[in-house]
Amino acid sequence: MADKKPAEPRSDRRDSQWLLWEVFTQSKTGLPHEHAGSVHAPDAEMALQNARDVYARRGPVTSIWVAPSDSITASTSSDSQPFFDPADDKIYRHPQFYKVPKGVKIFK
Amino acid sequence: MDDDAKLIEFEAKIKRGEKIEPKDWMPERYRKQLIRMMSQHAHSEIVGMLPEGNWITRAPTLRRKMGLIAKVQDEAGHGLYLYSATETLGIGRDEMVDQLLEGKAKYSNIFNYPSLTWADMGVIGWFVDGAAIVNQTMLARSSYGPYSRAMLRICAEENFHKKQGYEIAATLALGTQAQKEMVQNAVDRYWWPSLMMFGPSDKDSPNTPLLMKWKIKRKSNDDLRQRFIDLTIPQAQRIDLTIPDPDLKLNKKTGHWEFGKINWDEFYEVIRGNGPCNKERMTARRKAHFDGEWVRIAAEEYAKKRKTNHSNNN
């Protein structure tokens, strides 16, 4: 027979969802870690275990990083224009900017 | 920049095929529609574990049992990907879980039907996961970045679900007379509710035009339903199972299968909470959640204790 206990909270303790952690996985050694999603966990060790169960149930994952979500500082899209502008006007950072005598092979 | 200008830029961005990310400006309606869709989707994954969990202890072989456990575990994982993606819109997971447990949130109607026999495990994987793949392949191109990325991850895993389901159905369909009858019966019960998974017909789906304009959805309910039918019928024919629709016929001109009338009254009845298993599902989910409370408390205490030990040792 099924359990007839009423499905109610056992205590008035508020259901904590714990801290939020961002998860980064590496799919092959040598490749960069990539953001996969997030997990909830009370500490870093359990965050790592939860991340393995959620984001690495099947390969390929060779390494996982977890970081508390609130410790990540990110640029916002509203300031992305002025923030990244300085990269746009420096054509001298690209090889096309430089001229060499015809017929010389610089790269091979 | 005022909201009108922001809206113009937002829509231009979507038109160019760019994704919207969590920190980008978005209209409140876009955010609300996404929270509604994505949290319902997450709840469906979680409640979707129940009909299949019902058969884990009675799987006929160890091979089948391993497959089913892995599938149910994937559904839990998919629920978590989706809660995680929905949280990027500014709603907490606890709030979403509360909405589900209090019966305020919807989840897919299909899980309010009972799983009566082992053959249902085959047909659920084949039809229900098959329908989910059709829907999710479309959502993988959704304009909201985190939703689209969660879908890509899910689609890659769902293919195993569908294939293991079809394998079960095919094995039974080619088995004894009793096995064949059992799987035909599951097909008869699950065909129409599976077609309803795509939601009301386009003419009765008031949200669709806006959802498509903002590329939250890329195809309409009716188009997706048609795609599912066209994909599934040859699979049924191949293993000699009959789809319970006397009006089904291939239109040679369009290449699409024409089908009979869907019983939308049943669809709305189940949404209103009067399906065969609505109450049972919610009771089971609430019980699982509240029974798990001690595990959550223990994990928290363990974390606290480790922290104290750690600082004492320093």
Q: Which of residues 18-77 of A touch B (CB under 8 A)?
A: 18, 20, 36-43, 45-46, 53-54, 57-58, 74, 76-77
Q: Measured between CA atoms, how close is A76 to chain B, in angstroms?
A: 6
Q: In whole angstroms, what is the distance from residue B207 CA to residue A79 CA?
A: 32
pLDDT in tens, B209-236: 999 999 999 999 999 999 999 999 999 9
Tell whether B258 is covered by a domain. yes
Residues 6+ apart with CB under 8 A from B312: none
CATH number at residue B34: 1.20.1260.10
Residue at B169 is within a domain: yes
Residue B142 structural domain: 3-276
Instruction: Give the C-alpha distances (Å, rounded to integers) separating A74 from A70, A79, A93, B272.
Output: 10, 11, 25, 43
- B131 in A contact zone (CB under 8 Å): no
- CA dihedral of residues A19, B73, A27, A34 (deg, nearest 10): -30
CATH superfamily of A19-75: Phenylacetic acid degradation B (3.10.20.520)
User: Rounded to 5 degrees, what angle do the CA atoms B66, B51, B133 make?
Assistant: 75
Question: With an 8 Å Cβ cutoff, are A37 and B81 in contact?
Answer: yes
Angstrom CA distances, B134 to A42, B99, B123, B127, B291, stand at 37, 27, 16, 10, 35
B135 assigned to some structural domain: yes
The reply to whether residue B307 touches residue A43, judged by beta carbons under 8 angstroms, is yes
- The number of folded domains in chain B is 1
Question: Alpha-carbon distance B66 to B54, whole Å?
Answer: 14
Q: What is the pLDDT of residue B20?
A: 96
Binary contact (B296, A40; C-beta < 8 A): no
Query: What is d(CA B55, CA B217) in angstroms, rounded to the nearest whole number?
Result: 34
pLDDT per residue, tens digit, chain B (314 aa), is 788 999 999 999 999 999 999 989 999 999 999 999 999 999 999 999 999 999 999 999 999 999 999 999 999 999 999 999 999 999 999 999 999 999 999 999 999 999 999 999 999 999 999 999 999 999 999 999 999 999 999 998 999 999 999 999 999 999 999 999 999 999 999 999 999 999 999 999 988 899 999 999 999 999 999 999 999 999 999 999 999 999 999 999 999 999 999 999 999 999 999 999 999 999 999 999 999 999 999 999 999 999 888 777 76
Alpha-carbon distance B123 to B89, whole Å? Answer: 35
Q: Do A9 and B81 touch (CB under 8 A)?
A: no
A29, exposed or middle or buried, with CB in 10 Å at 0-12, 13-18, 19+? exposed
What 3-state DSSP class applies to B60?
Answer: coil
Q: What is the pLDDT of residue A106?
A: 79
Q: How confident is the model at residue A80 (pLDDT cuts 50, 70, 90)?
A: low
Tell me the pLDDT tens digit for each residue of A1-18.
444 444 565 555 556 688
Q: Do A39 and B80 touch (CB under 8 A)?
A: yes
Residues 6+ apart with CB under 8 A from B11: B213, B214
pLDDT digits (tens, 9 = 90+) for B148-202: 999 999 998 999 999 999 999 999 999 999 999 999 999 999 999 999 999 999 9
Q: Does B293 touch chain A (CB under 8 A)?
A: yes
Using CA of residue B224, residue A54, residue B101, residue A2, what is the dihedral sign? positive
Q: Does residue B229 form part of some domain?
A: yes
Cis omega (within 30 of 0) on the bond before A95? no
